[in-house]
Amino acid sequence: MPEVFKGSFTQQEPIPEEAIAAAIEVMRSGRLHRYNTAHGEVAETALLEQEFAAYTGSKYCVAVASGGYAMATALRAIGVRPGDRVLTNAFTLAPVPGAIAAVGAVPVFVGVTESLVIDLEDLAAKADQADVLLLSHMRGHLADMEALMAICDAAGVTVIEDCAHTMGAAWKGVPSGTQGKVGCYSCQTYKHVNSGEGGLLVTDDAEVAARAVMLSGSYMLYGRHAAAPPPEAFAQIRYETPNISGRMDNLRAAILRPQLRDLQARCVRWNARYHEIEKGLRGTPGLRVIERPQKETIVGSSIQFLLLDWAEHHVKDVLARCAARGVELKWFGGAEPVGFTSRYDSWKYVDAPAMPVSDRVLAGIVDMRVPLTFTIEDCALIARIIRAEVSAVYQAAA
């Protein structure tokens, strides 16, 4: 009988006991709203902002309702207006172009390479088409950030980093999210810290931070932020910045703070699982492992591989055969969006020209979550199953 994996690809680890206790304390107080504090008390949300700013080495941090809200807030805070064009990755998830559309701007898609990062040649060619790049570190893959920033700086393009998949990652030791003007992170259940929903925004720019605080819905309570600019930064901004409420609450912040303290240890555990799967997939006929640069510090909470230039029905056969053995794979090559695997030509609110070079790469991308509920033995089994089914389809096709 062939081996079958019986675990779940969507089951996360329990919330830590310390986080549960902190959440209960917040609920007992009844003060869930971030600005509802007792005399002399610093809100859980303000403490989270302070701690995450320190974690990333940033001056300022704003905690918000979601990663998507963080991106839209960042775009508004740097001055993006309706009708503006914003560069972004062709290989990304729907909230990224969605954030651009939410502010009335127009996404301009930049290609993807076989390393699953933004195509820097295509970026350089399109850099004169927009003043902003919303850079998606899709599925945790970091481009050469020095080269990317050189292109953008030379063209006067402001970079916002979408770090939904790279909290804890780095390029040459520089934390993801701190090379551009703004870094945006997600705390959604399948990300690196889990509050169900939630987001964080970091920046070293006092004006951008002040606008983000006001946009998030601080009213005139910006003085209660522990990782915000000084009051003088708000002197004029407080009158001209709309309140687009999307605050994080103290309950979610209480759940997140202990997880943040444990994040580095969690990253080590993710990477052990990632590398076990990667090891098992290497050398599989017809399958290409994504080689990660030495300059990149990864967080392996998901893994991708390429079935490059495979016929569509053969890719679908691999997915079906793996699913029959309990291994849930996602594919970014489908003409129709399925679950989260939509792509640039799925979003019909964007009039995007065809990108045949990127289409070839997208047609080969296979993606899999690696939750920490998997054991190392689970990961070895999953790799054996994928290897066997890819090899069987490849040999039959050959």
Give the residue from 261, 277, 309 where a domain finishes. Answer: 261
Do residues 254 and 368 share a domain? no
- Whether the pTM exceeds 0.95: the reply is yes
For residues 280 and 380, the answer to whether their CB atoms sit within 8 Å is yes
pLDDT tens-digit readout, 177-195: 999 999 999 999 999 999 9
**For the stretch 356-382, what's the b/e string if a residue is b when 16 or more beta carbons lie within 10 angstroms of its beta carbon?**
ebbbebbbbbbbbbbbeebeeebbebb
Give the residue from 261, 280, 298 where a domain finishes. Answer: 261
- The whole-number average pLDDT for the span 4-23 is 97
Do residues 70 and 163 share a domain? yes
- The whole-number average pLDDT for the span 337-346 is 87
- Asked whether residue 11 is domain-assigned, the answer is no
Whether residue 1 has pLDDT greater than 80: no
3 is written with which tokens?
């081996």
Give the residue from 196, 227, 261 where a domain finishes. Answer: 261
DSSP H helical segments within the chain, as ranges?
17-29, 44-56, 67-77, 95-102, 120-126, 145-155, 206-216, 237-240, 250-261, 263-281, 312-324, 356-362, 376-397
Do residues 306 and 293 share a domain? yes
Whether residue 337 has pLDDT greater than 90: no
CATH code of residue 136: 3.40.640.10
Which residues are within 8 A (CB) of 249 and not within 5 positions of it... i.e. 6 or more apart?
A: 32, 33, 34, 45
Phi, psi of 17 (to 5 degrees): -60, -40
277 is written with which tokens?
């799967």
- Give me the amino acid identity at 330: K
Distance from C-alpha of 88 to C-alpha of 352, rounded to nearest angstrom = 12
Name the nearest CA neighbour of 298 among 274, 280, 277.
Answer: 274
Q: Which domain holds residue 287?
A: 263-397
CATH code of residue 385: 3.90.1150.10
For residues 52 and 44, the answer to whether their CB atoms sit within 8 Å is no
- The whole-number average pLDDT for the span 49-74 is 98
